[in-house]
Chains A and B, each alone.
Chain A
Amino acid sequence: MNIDRQRLLVLGATADIARAVAREFAAHGCAVEMAARNPDALQRECQDLRLRSGVEVRGHVYDVLHVEDDARLLHALAENFPGTTICAIGLLHPQRECSANVALAAEVMHSNYTAPARVLEQIAAIYRQAGAGCIIGIASVAGDRGRAANYSYGSAKAGFAVFLSGLRASLQGTGVRVITLKPGFVRTRMMQGRQTPAVLTAAPQELAVRLFRLYDSGANGVFYYKRIWRPIMWLICLLPERLFMRLQL
């Protein structure tokens, strides 16, 4: 398959983080393939990006929970397959609701882990065969240690992060990279209604700038944003379980 290095595939293109990332890549001349589940919102984002950047932008209606959407998407991309894929799909519901409703909990787990892993595995196969490509997965600091406040979401993100690290290892030496990005707090729709400390909170644009730099420098590995989250999570992971439970972090 023909891989186009100057083309980006965005899964979950209507996510606030995805919009910022798409804009940043487009500003550097990348064509963008936008995949998202809400057709109206998708169309608006595509038009916005086209007008802002002047690059080629195409939209694909895609719901990661619909298995049959994979084939349609991959087929539509086949001619000029984007050399970089970012997955920004994520779903967060309050733990209370997840605990009370196992179907909802399952949806959260699928949306954050099993479903994105399913499609990324297929894309990785294409890259592996072509001997080039870059996969960027957005995991979360919430996946580093299970908290009472969001363990359905957190455990799925943990699974996703482990999937990405395994994928990275398996692609070693093939010319394919995998970047795991673990954001802390980012000011997006997902965080609406929550007050978070300013020093730990990033704007989607800053994250996008940092991510493009990582991508551009040939990075391959796990990265936090903001960077302060790496030592914070390292410390949190070091806490003995008893202490961690008592602290109710």
Chain B
Amino acid sequence: MSIPPGTRTKLCGFGRYPTITGRLVAARDRAELSAVLQAEPSLIARGNGRSYGDAALNADCVVSMLGLNRFVDFDAATGVLVCEAGILLAEILQVMVPRGWFPPVSPGTQYVTVGGMVAADVHGKNAHRDGTFGQYVEWLELMQQDGTIKRCSRTRYPAWLHATIGGMGLTGVIVTVAFRMIAIRTAWIHRELYTAVGLGAAMELLDRHAGRHYTAAWVDCHARGKALGRAVLFCGEHAEVAALPPGTAALHIPQRWTATVPLTPPCSLLSGFCGRLFNELYYPLNRLKVRQQLVDYQRFFYPLDAITGWHRLYGPRGFCQYQCVFPDATSHRGVRAVLQAQAASGQASPLAVLKRLSAGSGLMSFAMPGYTLAMDYVASESTFTLFRSLDAIVAEHGGRIYLAKDSRADEIAAGYPVEQFRHFRKAVDMRFNSLLAERLRL
């Protein structure tokens, strides 16, 4: 078996910070993958690079999984789909939605791989109710450094499964994943929008709608004082056929308006834009109190995917996301403190996403019962200063930050069972390694 040659190229995550020059090797089947793993002393798997920071970066070797993108099996009786780990969620949707199946959990973009969804144990708008993606994994195949494959499930190698879900690629390379999908009758979502005048109201609304299939809130980060935390809440349910206008093909995926950002502007254009967007939604809606609409699933789940390269609008320096979660007991105080600190810093994020989570399903999963808040910033020294002060708030309230979004923290031990994870890694293999793992000493 010949080893595929690598390409020296610039590599980065979605936030384009940090950017390194590294070697990218693409494997297209397990034989090639196995040859690469046996040859490389240090490497990390990479999905579609939608994690924001350095989770899928390694100075020696990065293995692209995008070539392992085949459907392997589907059982319509149980809804279990088996696919290779490099397949994009977008491809799964395109094939499965017309047949009446939907992913059990879906992040805010469809351009992620299934391997990336497992490795970060991603959560979606239904995290308050249905947990994280890892929960729906029936089994997965994990390739080790010697090129052999372990099939891990809740009964065989359960400790491996537990460490791999949310394990950020550090336990091996996920080759195949079997996960349960959910049945849908239409490609449409019945959406309801509500407004909340402040943070208390927003959290109360989220709690009140906890029975809904999907919920999430956009928070205006510029609001202060009484209006601190004012928000627009989105709720959604999969629409029934009867709810569609007559003549609509229920499972047909509507064509979508799309655009591409052709180049990176010299400075960030996004802050002003998002602020305006929020206000345009908030004020008219606030008079109405509630607005109901039927939207197709792409507009509901992946609004930003319509604009390829939207994140370039953050300018040439790249950007960072700060996403943290607080346990139930301290959620109100923690979220309020974070919003206050970032508004006071004078570099408020244009928007924050506020959501309720429930427990994750892996050892290093981010999700826990409580509230999560996510905010984007242009990468800069003052951003990092702000982030350090937010870190202190998170630690003080017993919360944690999301590794898939992080690019700069220097300590996370308080929030995660790092000792236990490190122990597991040492016992099996330290060759799977990323800049993230080195930075945080995982």
Contact = CB atoms under 8 A, between A and B. Distances in A.
B277 to A, nearest CB: 31
Of the candidates A16, A45, A47, A194, the one having the most CB atoms from chain B within 10 angstroms of its own CB is: A47
B4 A51 contact: no
Contact of B71 (A16, A52, A193): A52
B91 to A, nearest CB: 8
B72 A47 contact: yes
Contacts of B72: 44, 47-48, 51
Interface residues of A, number: 13
Contacts of B95: 51-52
Contact of B74 (A45, A51, A189, A193): A51
A142 B25 CA distance: 25
**Secondary structure of the A contact surface, majority rule:** helix
A192 B71 contact: no
A27 to B, nearest CB: 10
B6 interface: yes
Contact of B7 (A45, A52, A193): A193
Interface size grouping (class) on chain B? 10 to 19
Interface in A43-65: 44-45, 47-48, 51-52
Contacts, number: 35
B4 A44 contact: no
A157 B95 CA distance: 36
A248 interface: no
Nearest to B9: A195
Contacts of A192: 4-5, 7, 26
Nearest to B82: A51
Contact of A189 (B6, B28, B71): B28
A41 interface: yes
A65 to B, nearest CB: 18
B29 interface: yes
A147 B257 CA distance: 44
B101 to A, nearest CB: 12
Most chain A beta-carbon contacts within 10 A, residue among B5, B7, B67, B71: B71
Nearest to A189: B28
A197 to B, nearest CB: 14
Contacts of A194: 7
B70 interface: yes
Given A51-B95, A52-B95, A44 B70 contact: yes
Contacts of B70: 44-45, 47-48
Given A189-B67, A194-B7, 14 more contacts: A16-B28, A44-B29, A44-B70, A44-B72, A47-B70, A47-B73, A48-B70, A48-B72, A51-B71, A51-B72, A52-B71, A52-B95, A189-B28, A195-B9
